Amino acid sequence: MVISRSPAASPAVSGRLSLGGQTLLLQEHIKVLGVTVDCGLRFDRHVAAAAHQASLQVSALRRMAENLDSRGILTLYKAQIRPCMEYSALSWMSSAPTNLQRLDAVQRRALQLVGMDGQQQQQEQTGVTSLEHRRDMSALVVQHTRPGFWMSLILAR
């Protein structure tokens, strides 16, 4: 994959890269450590795939919901579905709002299984904060953590 602002970059490199005698074909998107990124450094495909996977998991949870109480449903959501929607969130948190709203819609569907409708009610009774809030807090933690911060904590002990 060629990452460049110049539209002429890809054609200039195409067919010229090789590894072990094999010509490498250019890709429009690649998957690195489970995160899909395209040649424009956008994560739309990754967010859409994460929302789709989480939606399938919520559908499976819905089928099981009659056999579980609200606490069991919530536990399964937090353990199995939510991590899929939060994986590598710092890298793609600046994606288009429409993509991020897909993830929020999946969370709303899951929490409706528990009987929660309003966002404030959800947070107070379930302890599940909004995905947007989690992304913002993660960014703040990374932003305010200095390189020597963790070392000073370790040495202080």
> Does 88 map to a domain?
yes
107 located within any domain: yes
* CA quadruple 91, 93, 96, 102: dihedral, nearest 10: 110
Q: Name all contacts of 141-146 with Cβ < 8 Å and 24+ positions apart.
A: 142/90
pLDDT in tens, the chain (157 residues): 777 777 787 788 877 888 888 888 888 888 888 888 887 788 888 888 888 999 999 999 999 888 888 888 888 888 888 888 888 777 777 777 888 888 888 888 888 888 766 554 455 556 677 677 667 666 666 666 555 555 554 555 4
- One domain, residues 51 and 77: yes
Report the pLDDT value the prediction gives residue 145, as an integer from 0 to 100.
Answer: 59
Same domain membership, residue 21 and residue 90: no
DSSP 41: S
Nearest to 77 by CA among 116, 35, 29, 48: 116
Res 147: pLDDT: 57
Neighbours of 142 (CB within 10 A): 9
CB within 8 Å of 14: residues ≥ 6 apart: 26
Mind giving me the DSSP string for 45-77?
A: HHHHHHHHHHHHHHHHHHHHGGGS-HHHHHHHI
Task: Clarify whether residues 121 and 66 are in a common domain.
Answer: yes
Q: Are residues 63 and 115 in the same domain?
A: yes
Range of the domain at 118: 43-130
- What pLDDT, on a 0 to 100 scale, did the predictor assign at position 157? 47
How far apart (Å, rounded) are the C-alpha atoms in residues 49 and 67? 28
Structural domain total, the chain: 2
Predicted pLDDT at 59: 93
